[in-house]
Structure 1
Amino acid sequence: MTWIVLIFAGVFEMLGVNAINVYTHNRTIKALFGILLFFGISFICLSIAMNTIAMSTAYAVWTGIGAAGGAILGMLFYDEPKNFPRIFFISLIIGSAVGLKAIS
């Protein structure tokens, strides 16, 4: 169950990064509220997960999901490059997060 909470933390971090992008292009209160909401939920979920998962593992998985997810969102919705090296290294980030789960 704790790993699911950690995955939610990473997903909300990814949504928070996306909300920052929206806010930089469209400075509205709604976008600012999205940043605060998504990162707030992300930090709460991360702190819950860190009660049973080691801090180093939880933080690495959390940032990995956020980084890989942000890059994937950028490729899907913001016309960022979709070349092989980029996809390869995103896959390495995801594989590393899975590997940390496997050895924990």
Structure 2
Amino acid sequence: MSWFVLIIAGLFEVVGVTGIQKIAKGEKGMGFLFLVGGFLLSFSLLSIAMQAIPLGVAYAVWTGMGTVGSAVVGMIFYNDSADRIRLMFLGMVVVAIVGLRLVS
């Protein structure tokens, strides 16, 4: 159950980061809602997950999910680069996240 909570926390981190992008694009009201709501839920769920998952593993998975998720959102919605090398490195982050799950 803790891993499921951690995954949801990572998804809400992406929501918070998306709020930052919305604010930068001039969508202040909706951006602040995404920013505050996303990070509030994300941190709350991360703290719950860390009751059963070691700190280093939980934080690494959480930040990795935020990194990959934010990059994917940028590629899909904000025309960020999606070249092969970038995708390869994002794939390496995913492999690291899965690896941490397998050894924890």
Where on the TM-score scale, by shorter chain, does this alignment land: which range?
Answer: over 0.9
Structure 1 segments of 4 or more deviating over 4 A?
none
Q: Which has the higher contact order (CA 8 A, sep 6+)?
A: 1
Q: Which residue of 2 aligns with 1:78?
A: 78
- List gaps (5 residues or longer) in structure 1: none
Give the TM-score of the pair, scaled to structure 1. 0.96
Does residue 40 (structure 1) correspond to residue 37 (structure 2)? The answer is no
- Counterpart Cα distance in 2 of 1:73 and 1:30: 16
- Counterpart Cα distance in 2 of 1:37 and 1:78: 21
Measured after TM superposition, the shift of residue 40 of structure 1 is 0.1
CA RMSD of aligned residues (A): 0.8
Give the TM-score of the pair, scaled to structure 2. 0.96
Q: How many residues align?
A: 104
Aligned-pair identity (%)? 39
Q: Which residue of 1 aligns with 2:25?
A: 25
Partner amino acid, structure 1, of 2:63: T
- How big is each residue's C-alpha offset from its partner over 1:80-99, in whole Å with a ceiling of 9 and x where there is no partner? 11111000000000110010
- How big is each residue's C-alpha offset from its partner over 1:48-90, in whole Å with a ceiling of 9 and x where there is no partner? 0000000000000000000001011111111111111000000
Question: Which stretch of structure 1 is more off in the superposition, 59-68 or 70-79?
Answer: 70-79
- Counterpart Cα distance in 2 of 1:45 and 1:17: 16
- List gaps (5 residues or longer) in structure 2: none
Q: Which residue of 2 aligns with 1:16?
A: 16
